[in-house]
Structure 1
Amino acid sequence: MTFIWFAIAGIYTAILSLTIAPNIAGIIQKLLIIIFLYSVTVFLARLSVGFVTLYGQKAF
């Protein structure tokens, strides 16, 4: 998961330093935000499943 976040940060930084058309840069930035939010959602879902599993093991 951290690899994806660092890759997104690298691509975002590269986009800021490149001279490309603003509309293309905007589209790429929106895609990166979507990918980032999806990865955070997956991370939080896995974390909550882990907590529920841990609680279930201790409760029984």
Structure 2
Amino acid sequence: MADDHRWTTLPGNLPWLTPEFICAIWESAAFSIACLLEELQAGLNALPAGQREAVITQGFW
């Protein structure tokens, strides 16, 4: 993290978009998406069979 990334420095000596920062944002986004998908799957699995069949017959699934 102590590498010199002069090409990513904004005016005022503010480092931005360093490779470390980009990797951290990418990892946070991937982790958040995985958690949201698990929550969505758990919610869909909690539907009773009758409601699931009604949704499928109406074309929403």
Q: Give the structure-1-normalised TM-score.
A: 0.53
Match of 1:46 in 2: 39
Structure holding more strand per residue: 2
**Structure 1: tracts of 5 or more residues without a match:** 1-15
Higher relative contact order (CA 8 A, sep 6+): 1
CA shift, 1:17, in A, is: 8.3
Structure holding more helix per residue: 1
Alignment RMSD (CA, Å): 2.7
State the structure with more CA Rg. Answer: 2
Aligned residues: 40
Query: Matched residues, percent identical?
Result: 15
Q: Give the structure-2-normalised TM-score.
A: 0.53
